[in-house]
Every structure is written in structure tokens, then in C-alpha cells.
Amino acid sequence: MNREIRARPARLHPTFAQRLSRAVLLAAALVLGSLSAGVLGYHHLAGLRWVDALLNASMILSGMGPVDPLPTDAAKIFASCYALYSGLLLLATVSLLIGPFFHRALSRLELESGRRREEDRAELVGPPRGDLP
């Protein structure tokens, strides 16, 4: 990943938009992959129909909780692990989506503080003298 250089201004809008779109695509891929894994798990382990498996996986992934009772211990263990995983996925997805905004804000703050330091140095040293060799 390209890092921004302090002397340059914060990256312009197209680069920020590209960084944000990459984060959104990665977050969407994570959510869709997790939803697919949940649907497969509920369908095969709990014996739910595809639509019911989708409903349960969606509800767990969104933090709402299961809808159908689970008949086997394997299905209950899967649901427990899937619920824990879903909580971690929520944190990861939010971090991915906030990251580009946070990065841009920090870049602007760093640029501002760099300008202030240069202005402070110029005041201490004074104007440049042209008579030095």
C-alpha cells in the first residue's frame, strides 16, 4: 500500500475514493462469504431448508439472534461459533470502512503540524541571509 509523504498535501479525492471503494469491496466480500458459510452450516448441520438457513444466518450475522430451534448438538455448537465469529466480523468490517476516513484525517493533521513546525523554525531563525558562502 502506498504511503503518503509528509511534505505532500493529503491525497486528492480520486485516491481517497479508490481507497474507500477498495475497503467497501473487501467488507462486502467478507460479509457475503460469511453469510454463505452460515447458510451452508445451517443447511447441513441443522437440516434447515435453504431459505430458513439464509434467514438464520442473516439474523445471526446482523446480531439479532437465531430464529429456528436447532435440533442437534452439532448445530448448536456451529451456531455458537458462528455468533462469536459474527461479532468479530462486525468489528473488522467497521474498522475497514472507517479506516480510509481515519487515514485521511490523520494525514491532514500531520500536514498541518508539519506546516506549523516550519513556520516556528522560520520565526526562530529569521529571514535567510544571502551573504553567507
Q: What is the pTM of this model?
A: 0.69
Residue ranges covered by each domain of the chain: 20-116
At 27, is the secondary structure helix, strand, or coil?
helix
- CA 41 vs CA 38, 62, 66, 79: distances in Å: 5, 16, 13, 8
The DSSP annotation for 66-119 comes to --SPP-SHHHHHHHHHHHHHHHHHHHHHHHHHHHHHHHHHHHHHHHHHHHHHHH
Predicted confidence (pLDDT) at residue 126 exceeds the cutoff of 70: no
Query: What value does the mean pLDDT of the chain take?
Result: 83
CATH topology of domain 20-116: Helix Hairpins (1.10.287)
What is the rounded average pLDDT of the residues 48-55? 95
What sign does the dihedral 40-42-48-49 (CA atoms) show? Answer: negative
Tell me which amino acid residue 50 is: W
Residue 114 φ/ψ region, left for φ over 0, alpha for ψ in the -120 to 50 degree band, beta for the rest: alpha
pLDDT band at residue 117 under the 50/70/90 scheme: low
pLDDT in tens, 23-51: 999 999 999 999 999 999 999 999 999 99
